[in-house]
Amino acid sequence: MSGVLEQIAGVLYEGDDESVCTLVQKALNEGIKPGQVLRNGLLAGMDQVGVDFRAGDLFVPEVLISARAMHAGMDILRPLLSQSDLASSNKIVIGTVQGDLHDIGKNLVGMMLEGGGFEVIDIGIDLPPEKFVDAIKTEHPDIVGMSAMLTTTMQNMKHTIDALENAGVREEVRVIVGGAPVTKEYADEIGADGYAPDAGSAVELARSLVKQKDG
């Protein structure tokens, strides 16, 4: 039972990046393993942030301030983390499909996932299916997230999934989709592995998918 890790989680929740850094350093000085500082300090704090955000108790800027504090802590930890610590962090590639220039929802989902401990590769907007295929080939993510905000571009989610299949990479990843016109039914219809209506539930969804995969 280590008090300092709980303290880290607490100051991270408050978004106090200076104290996060001081306490991360203190924990390391006490001989606690970097991986443990990450999991039981930083990520534990972000988990609580996520829970309270989903419950409607926190505002988006408060979450982002906590995420900023987490990044500050990560900057200290990253060089010290072992290969296995790093490999255990899950990777997600996210982008907006072809013809669609909406960016903000996708960005927010990316930020929340990062706060939830994912490594997020944002590949942009207006992406033809090949860009998703290429990203899978180069990044080897666990999950691919697609965003579409228009009725006219929603169909490109299907085209992208088809392209992943044709390129033989569909089985390598879990595909999740979201955006205003998208529904659970539509996600099922096009063979996506998951749908989330907002950023908070996107994190839960991504977690449950990687758990299935790992488990």
Partner 1 sequence: MTQRFNVQPLQPHISVLSEEGVKAIHKATLEILEETGVEMQDPQGRELLLEAGARESDGRLKIPEKLVDEALSSAPSLIPIYDRLGNLAMPLELGNVFFGSGSDTNFTFDLMTGERRRTTTQDVENLARLCDGLDNIDFVMSMGNPSDVPPDDLYVHAFIRMIRGSVKPNVYVTKDRKDMEDIYRIAVAVAGGEDALREKPFFLHYAEPISPLLIPEESLQKIIFCAEKGIPACYPPSPNTGGGGPISLAGAVALGNAECLVGLIMSQLTRRGTPFLYGMNTAAMDMKTAIVSYGSPEWSLGMAAWTDLARFYNLPSWGFGGASDSKLVDAQAGLEATFSIMSAFLSRCTLVHDVGYLEFGSTSSAEMLVIADEIIRMTRFLVNGIAINDKTLALDAIARVRPGGGFLADNHTLENWKWAQWTPKVIDRKLYHSWVEAGSKDMFVRANDVAREVLEKHELLPLQGEVEAVIADVLAERADAHQ
178 in Cβ contact with 196 (< 8 Å): yes
Query: Minimum distance from CB of 66 to partner 1 (Å)?
Result: 14
198 binds partner 1 (CB under 8 A): yes
Distance CA 102, CA 35 (A): 36
- Site string (143-182) toward ligand B12, x via CB under 6 A: --xxx-xxx------------------------xxxxxx-
109 binds ligand B12 (CB under 6 A): yes
Distance CA 215, CA 202 (A): 20
Residue 144 amino acid letter: V
Q: Whose Cβ is closer to ligand B12: residue 138's or residue 183's?
A: 183
Three-class secondary structure of residue 30 per DSSP: coil
Quote the tokens at residue 206. 């991504």
Residues 112-131 that bind partner 1 (CB under 8 A): none
Of 104, 137, 165, 188, the one binding partner 1 (CB under 8 A) is: 104
Beta-ladder partners of 144: 93, 175
User: Helices H, strands E: what count in the chain?
Assistant: 11, 5
Residue 80 amino acid letter: L
Q: Whose Cβ is closer to partner 1: residue 60's or residue 87's?
A: 60
Residues that bind partner 1 (CB under 8 A): 56, 59-61, 99, 101, 103-105, 108, 151-152, 154-155, 180-181, 198-199
Residues that bind ligand B12 (CB under 6 A): 99-106, 108-109, 145-147, 149-151, 176-181, 196, 198-199, 202
